[in-house]
Structure 1
Amino acid sequence: MPVITLTSDFGNTDHRIAAMKGRIISLNPDITILDISHEIQAYNLKQTAYIVKNAYHHFPKGSIHIIAVDSFYHKDRKCIIYKADGHYFIAADNGVLSLIFFDIKPETVYEITYNTRFDDIVRFAAADVLVPAAVHLHNGGLPEVIGRKYTTPKQLSFPNAGFTDHMIFGEVLYIDNFGNIISNISKAYFEEHYVIFDRFTIKFRNLALSKIYSGYTGLVTEWENETEFHGKPAAIFNEAGLLELTIYKGNIKNGAHTLFGLNIGERIYVEFHKD
């Protein structure tokens, strides 16, 4: 059965998440509400996109995902609905949905017209605009009843990895709760260029690695019983298919982000070699 999910930069201290959930169950007490994350850094659309993109497809088709990040209402910015990949996504028109679906064209996009005509009605956009739209869709309502087709949603883009001569150059895209460093170098892009070479070196700051494990499971399988590997750096392709730098058994305090000193936007290189 479809559900409504919530993602926000509201944190868990203030009233806002409770207000959203209260509004949902006031409109339909039978709806299942699930949280994706409320610990998004304030206004961080790239972080939002990474988290939602890697979470939403685990929910039932037809689910409605409210994304209340950088969502405070003002009359010059629309609230929109994306229908994409069998799900609905509701957010402010700030570009976050274009980041989530940089590789998938939405089936339709609507501007939400419900409750947005008069500024004094919209005190809290997440509860006053996004929630009623989500409940309407969950109840089987059509998006055109509460909105109109919209052809010019704001577009943003992630930086792409590139290739020159014998080297891929990418950058840090995201840092997760374990301090792992996720790059914008995909496994497919790596394999596309590696095919004509014999070996490679991953370079970042003053460090280098020459092996990529196929996921953290592969790393654990090889290193689990060897205590000397604890705290050692490694590279993997994570569940999103992206090159990730990690510290074995690391965490946010002593993980790759802390020990390597890499921040979002900094360069990571993969240099290819022939024997």
Structure 2
Amino acid sequence: MPIITLTSDYGTVDHRVAAIKGNILQLNPDCRLVDISHQIGAYNLVQTAYIIKNAYLNFPKESIHIISVDSFFHKDRKNILVKADGHYFIAADNGLLSLIFHDLKPEAIYEITINNRFDDDVKFASVDIFAPVAAHLNNGGLPELIGRKIKEYKEITFQKPYFKETENIMIGEVMYVDNFGNCVTNIPRNYFEKTAVNFNNFEINIRNILLKNIHRKYTDIVTDWEKETEYHGKASAIFNEQDLLEITIYKGTSRNGANTLFGLKVGDKIYIQFE
């Protein structure tokens, strides 16, 4: 039986997440529910896309992913079911899925039509629409029975890094800050390496602090494990497991990580000067 995952910007204090789970379990008491995250920033599609894209690959094929971010019901906005990479994704048609699958063509897109004739009865899309769709799929139901096939969904795009040839400088930006205060940028390894091959060296300039190396992993910054505590709080750059440039503080936390030390937040620019 497929797994159903839940991701939302609802937090865990209010009733909403429990209501979604309760509704699914009423429809299918035997289903397996897994939380991905409910601490998404309110309406933050970029953060959601980063988390979902890097989480769903670890679930079995045919898993069903409910994504309740910027998902409150509006009669003029579609709710969609998308099959992509062997998984099902249920969300509002707000552009989120185009961020997740910017490099992958979906296998099928459906406009969810259940409850369309009863718009006034839909108070909470995640309970009244998303949960029944997930339970239907979980029971082996066909997507064609809960929606009609459409050719496209709403598309939005990430801000991409770029290279200014006149100044030999690459400009990217912070796209995500994790629980350790690490700042993930939109600069992929292959784009950086394609540019760097034409130069002898580089400097990453962050608030006038210069980083001249990019490590392979977090612990590469430590060269003497007997003196490991001396490296606490030291700044470095790495390519993370998603092959994106990340600014990190060794053993940093949300209180003293790279975002705090450098005063960085999502959208702030990162400059790499090549020489």
Tell me which amino acid in the other structure corresponds to 2:244. L
What secondary structure sits across from 1:157 in the alignment? coil
Name the SS for the 1:35 alignment partner.
strand
Provide the TM-score with structure 2 as the length reference.
0.95
What residue is the counterpart of 1:123 in the other structure?
123
Whole-Å separation in 1 of the counterparts to 2:220 and 2:81: 39
Q: Does structure 1 residue 175 correspond to structure 2 residue 190? A: no
Which residue identity lines up with residue 194 of structure 1 in the other structure? Answer: A
Deviation per CA, 1:56-79, whole angstroms, max 9, x where unpaired? Answer: 100001100000011110100110
**Would you say 1:194 and 2:187 are equivalent positions?**
no
Partner SS state of residue 51, structure 1: helix
CA distance in 2, matches of 1:181, 1:14: 29
Q: 5 Å matches for 1:184-263?
A: 184-219=186-221, 222=223, 224-226=225-227, 227-263=229-265
For residues 185 and 48 of structure 1, what CA distance do their matches in structure 2 show?
18
Distance, in Å, in 2 between the alignment partners of 1:41 and 1:263 is 13
TM-superposed deviation, 1:101: 0.8
Aligned length: 272
Checking the alignment, whether the CA contact within 8 Å between 1:201 and 1:271 is kept in structure 2 is yes
Structure 1 residue 219: deviation in Å? 3.6
Q: Secondary structure in 2 aligned to 1:132?
A: helix
Per the alignment, residue 9 of structure 1 pairs with: 9
Q: How far apart are residue 152 of structure 1 and its match?
A: 3.5
The verdict on how the C-alpha distance between 1:44 and 1:131 changes in structure 2, with shifts beyond 3 A counting, is same
Cα separation, 1, equivalents of 2:27 and 2:154: 30
Amino acid at match of 1:241: D
Greater mean deviation of Cα atoms: 83-92 or 200-209: 200-209
**Which has the higher mean CA deviation after the structures are superposed, 227-236 or 55-64?**
227-236
Match of 1:99 in 2: 99
Shift of 1:224: 4.3
Q: CA deviation at 1:151?
A: 2.3
1:54 alignment partner, SS class: helix
Three-state SS of the structure 2 residue aligned to 1:263 is: coil
Q: What's the RMSD between the two structures over aligned residues?
A: 1.3
TM-score w.r.t. structure 1 length?
0.95
Uncovered stretches (5+) of structure 2, i.e. residues with no partner:
none
Q: Give the residue type in structure 2 aligned to 1:210.
A: K
